[in-house]
Amino acid sequence: MSGPLTERRQMILKLVIQEFVDTATPVASETLVRKYRLPVSPATVRNDMAALEELGFLTHPHTSGGRIPTDAGYRFFVENLMERTSLSPAEQRMIRHQFYQVRGELDQWVQLACAVLARTAHNASVATAPRAEQLRFKSLELIAIHETMALAVIVFHGGIIKQQTLPIEPGRTPEDLRRAAGVVSDLLADATLTRAEELAAVATFNGVPLSEFERTLVDMVVRAMIAFEEQAQEQIYSDGLLEMLSQPEFMPASGRDDAERAIERLRRTLEILKSGRGLGPLIPQALASGGVQVIIGGEHGEDAMRDYSVILARYGVEGALVGVLGVIGPTRMAYPRSISTVRYIASLMSNLLADLYYANPRPSEPDVDTPATS
Amino acid sequence: MSGPLTERRQMILKLVIQEFVDTATPVASETLVRKYRLPVSPATVRNDMAALEELGFLTHPHTSGGRIPTDAGYRFFVENLMERTSLSPAEQRMIRHQFYQVRGELDQWVQLACAVLARTAHNASVATAPRAEQLRFKSLELIAIHETMALAVIVFHGGIIKQQTLPIEPGRTPEDLRRAAGVVSDLLADATLTRAEELAAVATFNGVPLSEFERTLVDMVVRAMIAFEEQAQEQIYSDGLLEMLSQPEFMPASGRDDAERAIERLRRTLEILKSGRGLGPLIPQALASGGVQVIIGGEHGEDAMRDYSVILARYGVEGALVGVLGVIGPTRMAYPRSISTVRYIASLMSNLLADLYYANPRPSEPDVDTPATS
DNA sequence: CATTAGCACTCTCACTTAGCGAGTGCTAAC
DNA sequence: GTTAGCACTCGCTAAGTGAGAGTGCTAATG
């Protein structure tokens, strides 16, 4: 009954999606013919639409009123119909420029990535900070704040730092602090958490037992590493709520029912963004696979996510320092644009991080757009 | 015509506000009598309500349907009718415990304060990071990341740190880095921005001209200080959007008009929270005055804030390291609770920061609730 | 003179009905 | 396979209706 997926039907599917993404209203056969000057009559388009519906790519919210794409429709579009675009050179330049302005300030990168993602893809964005698979200690610095308080700066591989205050006994000189920090730095050099714990248990350096103060410091580092390990998993940056809010999905133009649902939707979205719940399972997945992941609506089991699509990509230095970033928005989303944005920013961030890792920096400005495999 | 503000009328105003805060619906004369067992008839209450209306403390959204407080009504309530409460000891303990858990991690304090404020006051919260009136350099540490890249950790008075990467020439040894950092640390010790700029211009240390590398470092510090000066002004942390969203104001229980407005309201709120616009003028004001500031609805000129109240307090160490924190929510807000929450957390944060500043730490747990002057 | 009972009046809310218009599905012709 | 024609469906809007809530006013009361 349904018939084959002819060339024309694919084009119609593509047009329906395009149109729906643009207007956010169900698209009618006649509109399509008029707007795109199709060389066939509305009736023909209707027939094809009916076929596409039976194939599962389109639906009908109401008997009257046009068609809208299903998740499967979007999926087919993303996989087969969409032409793979890149951001325009001008946009790429603008984005690079923004990153250039915070070069060096690596604590700003993730936030900036979120902000740019959101603005460019016109949707909400999420990102995790880059994270080593294995947290590795690098060095410890102690700076006296006053007689009984010092600031410890714990540095890990990959430019991750953690600050911590700790009380000290009044007698200690700056030289004292420096020496202790030096001992601990050397002792724990390049240690992973487990290694650090072992070393803490032994509590000797070159056969000499650690002083009490040094032991305190080692303990502090271990605790900081544990805390980091636990916390970093959950920390998800996000931005662009406002961007997403201005999508028509959240404007109750029609009835009151719609409005109620819009608010409810919004609340859910907020919860997702805030807690990263709903993203949870996706992130390890994105970390595992390279390339850009597209999860459309209900494909992802979570019920709360039924109306949203997520586009994620891993970024960073393979095996050393990786994170995930992406875009989240209504299923009715400009996939080509969102995907190329995510791809571009992921590659940009990867290059930035690579500079941190490799002595011989690759050109930190991807000339066109180094596509990851999809 | 309006008549005097008798004792009873004040009580009625108070009850109306209490009731309206609770239920979010206009309150009727009869409800009041029934619920609070008033020894007068609804008619009497009505008369008093009419008087209160003429005094400008109450309004009528519609001819039928009860009364709701005006901004002036809330103001009178806050100033004269409200009993000054404190958070319950149990709550205080719980909050202290949470801060205790991140003791030492001063980069977490502001975020935690926001989170706790939001949860406790059931509203959105805002806070600025503590900030010295004069940023003062403390020390610089350099850690090699690899042959051509180093991580600089710039420490300022008050535990403010800034990390920055910088490229280095391949030849440099760790010892090299340490020495250079030491020179710069000593040279710039305790310098303010202007002083640092002067020193950078002179570019000598104890009469000896700085090496090129050292000059680079000094320049970096100066740039970092400038960046900080500019940025810190605007950086506003916030939390608790979800908390606020669950206020009935944002639930379109009634008509569609309401819903539309709810979304619009929400969008505005988001903008305010995100950019801090609308709070801008308030923050310096709060910094200037001690105590807890309450700004109700339209009292603050900004039109976008007409439906919101803001409760702000300064925290920190007077003249050394201060910030602002507070709560923002619908004018229909539990003022006593919000105010005591803000007051308590501000004093808690102040004590935490005082520990950083004074060698002899005051007890970091305010036993009851050190009230700031209002 | 403050208080109160009684009552008419107002205005919102929720529900129903009717009409319109958009868009489809089907059928029959090409 | 394509198209014109047309009946049919269904959501949306506007208008109308009844109920209920709550007030404002008036007149009676201590």
- Which of A360, A361, A351, A348 shows the shortest CA–CA distance to A95? A348
Give A-chain residues touching B361 at CB under 8 angstroms. 148
Residue B370 has pLDDT above 50, yes or no: no
The predicted pLDDT at position B104 comes to 85
More confident residue, B210 or B277: B210
Q: What is the mean pLDDT of residues A266-282?
A: 74
Q: What is the mean pLDDT of residues A23-43?
A: 94
CATH class of domain segment(s) A137-232: alpha beta
Lookup result for tokens 């230095």: A317
The predicted pLDDT at position A357 comes to 81
CB neighbour list of residue B120: distance below 8 Å, 6 or more residues apart:
B87, B91, B95, B337, B341, B345
Could you tell me the residue ranges of all domains in chain B? 7-81, 89-129+236-357, 137-232
Question: Element (H or E) spanning A166, and its range?
Answer: strand A160-167
Beta carbons of A276 and A234 less than 8 angstroms apart:
yes
- Which of A176, A168, A170, A169 shows the shortest CA–CA distance to A151? A168
Beta carbons of B126 and B338 less than 8 angstroms apart:
no
Q: What is the mean pLDDT of residues A119-137?
A: 91
Please name the CATH architecture into which domain A89-129+236-357 falls.
Answer: 2-Layer Sandwich (3.30)
How many beta-carbon pairs below 8 A join chains A and B?
Answer: 132
Determine the nucleotide nearest to B42 by Cα–C1' distance. C4
Q: What is the mean pLDDT of chain A?
A: 87
From the list B151, B262, B361, the residue facing A155 with the nearest CB is B151
Residue B257 has pLDDT above 60, yes or no: no
Q: Which of A1-10, A20-29, A352-361 has the lowest mean pLDDT?
A: A352-361
Give A-chain residues touching B149 at CB under 8 angstroms. 355-356, 359
Give A-chain residues touching B251 at CB under 8 angstroms. 263
Task: Read off the pLDDT of residues A183-223 as tens digits, 9 standing for 90 and up.
Answer: 999 999 999 999 999 999 999 999 999 999 999 999 999 99
Residue B367 has pLDDT above 60, yes or no: no
The predicted pLDDT at position A188 comes to 97
Please tell me whether any atom of strand D lies within 7 Å of the Cβ of A65: yes
Please tell me whether any atom of strand D lies within 7 Å of the Cβ of B16: no
pLDDT category of residue B369 using cuts at 50, 70 and 90: very low
- Which of B225, B226, B236 shows the shortest CA–CA distance to B156? B225
Find the residue in A nearest to B169 (Cα).
A359
Residue B373 has pLDDT above 50, yes or no: no
pLDDT category of residue A352 using cuts at 50, 70 and 90: very high
Quickly list DSSP for A24-79: -S-B-HHHHHHHHT-SS-HHHHHHHHHHHHHTTSEE-SSSSS-BEE-HHHHHHIII
Q: What are phi and psi of B206, to 5 degrees?
A: 55, 40
Q: What is the mean pLDDT of residues A105-119?
A: 94
CA distance A346 to chain B (A): 20
The predicted pLDDT at position A13 comes to 97
Task: Read off the pLDDT of residues B14-34 as tens digits, 9 standing for 90 and up.
Answer: 999 999 999 999 999 999 999
Task: Read off the pLDDT of residues A221-250 as tens digits, 9 standing for 90 and up.
Answer: 999 999 888 876 678 899 998 888 888 887
Hey, what are B143's tokens? 């850690």
Question: With 0-12 CB in 10 A as exposed, 13-18 as middle and 19+ as buried, what is B164?
Answer: buried
Q: Which of A118-132, A170-184, B22-36, B352-366 has the lowest mean pLDDT?
A: B352-366
Strand-pairing partners, residue A26, are none
Say if the Cβ atoms of A361 and B148 lie within 8 Å. Answer: yes
Residue A51 has pLDDT above 80, yes or no: yes
How far is the CA of B345 from the CAs of A36, A103, B43, B115, B281, in angstroms? 61, 36, 44, 11, 22
CA dist B26 and B24 (Å) reads 7
Task: Read off the pLDDT of residues B101-126 as tens digits, 9 standing for 90 and up.
Answer: 998 888 899 999 999 999 999 999 99
More confident residue, A283 or A321: A321
Hey, what are B164's tokens? 């920055």
CA dist A41 and B53 (Å) reads 66
The predicted pLDDT at position A277 comes to 64
Q: What are phi and psi of B257, to 5 degrees?
A: -55, -45
Quickly give B253 CA vs C13 C1' distance in Å.
12
To the nearest whole percent, how much of chain B has pLDDT over 70?
Answer: 89
Hey, what are A246's tokens? 């201005």
Task: Read off the pLDDT of residues A311-351 as tens digits, 9 standing for 90 and up.
Answer: 999 999 887 888 899 999 999 999 999 999 999 999 999 99
The predicted pLDDT at position B299 comes to 84
The predicted pLDDT at position B233 comes to 65
Task: Read off the pLDDT of residues A56-76 as tens digits, 9 standing for 90 and up.
Answer: 999 998 888 899 999 999 999
Find the residue in A nearest to B239 (Cα).
A274
From the list B104, B146, B356, the residue facing A359 with the nearest CB is B146
Give B-chain residues touching A143 at CB under 8 angstroms. 138-139, 141, 155
Say if the Cβ atoms of A143 and B147 lie within 8 Å. Answer: no
Residue A258 has pLDDT above 70, yes or no: no
Q: Which of A266-280, A353-367, B109-123 has the lowest mean pLDDT?
A: A353-367
Quickly list DSSP for A170-215: TT--HHHHHHHHHHHHHHHTT--HHHHHHHHHH-EETTEEPPHHHH
Output the CATH code of domain B7-81.
1.10.10.10
Q: Where are the beta strands (DSSP E) in chain B?
A: 58-59, 68-69, 124-127, 137-146, 149-156, 160-167, 204-205, 208-209, 237-239, 292-296, 308-317, 321-330
pLDDT category of residue A55 using cuts at 50, 70 and 90: very high
pLDDT category of residue A371 using cuts at 50, 70 and 90: very low
CA dist B270 and A242 (Å) reads 7
Q: What is the mean pLDDT of residues A258-271?
A: 71
More confident residue, A34 or B366: A34
Three-class DSSP category at B248: helix
Find the residue in A nearest to B158 (Cα).
A145
Task: Read off the pLDDT of residues A149-188 as tens digits, 9 standing for 90 and up.
Answer: 899 999 998 888 888 999 999 889 988 999 999 999 999 9
CA dist A364 and A357 (Å) reads 12
CA dist A219 and A231 (Å) reads 18
The predicted pLDDT at position B372 comes to 38
Please tell me whether any atom of strand D lies within 7 Å of the Cβ of A10: no
Beta carbons of B73 and B13 less than 8 angstroms apart:
yes
Quickly give A67 CA vs D9 C1' distance in Å.
15
pLDDT category of residue B366 using cuts at 50, 70 and 90: very low
pLDDT category of residue A266 using cuts at 50, 70 and 90: confident
